[in-house]
């Protein structure tokens, strides 16, 4: 893993930690829900028709 990628993940971890410290759970929840929705959309686009359960 390159230093740039490692630094990116470190900054993400710091941002999430700061949100917890500042008690911004609602904002963090919104971000996580949006990320899950996007992940499901990507999975649905790649799944053959008729295989969704």
Neighbour-count burial for 5-38, b at 16+ CB within 10 Å, e otherwise: eeeeeeeeeeeeeebeeeeeeeeeeeeeeeeeee
The pLDDT profile of the chain, 53 residues, written as one tens digit per residue, is 578 878 888 888 888 887 777 777 788 788 889 999 999 998 888 777 765 56
pTM: 0.50
Q: Which pLDDT value is given to residue 33?
A: 92
């Amino acid at each position: 893993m390159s230093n740039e990628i490692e630094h990116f993940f470190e900054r993400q971890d710091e941002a999430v930690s700061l949100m917890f410290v500042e008690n911004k759970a609602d904002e963090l929840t919104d971000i996580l829900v949006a990320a899950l929705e996007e992940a499901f959309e990507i999975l649905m686009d790649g799944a053959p028709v008729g295989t969704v359960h």
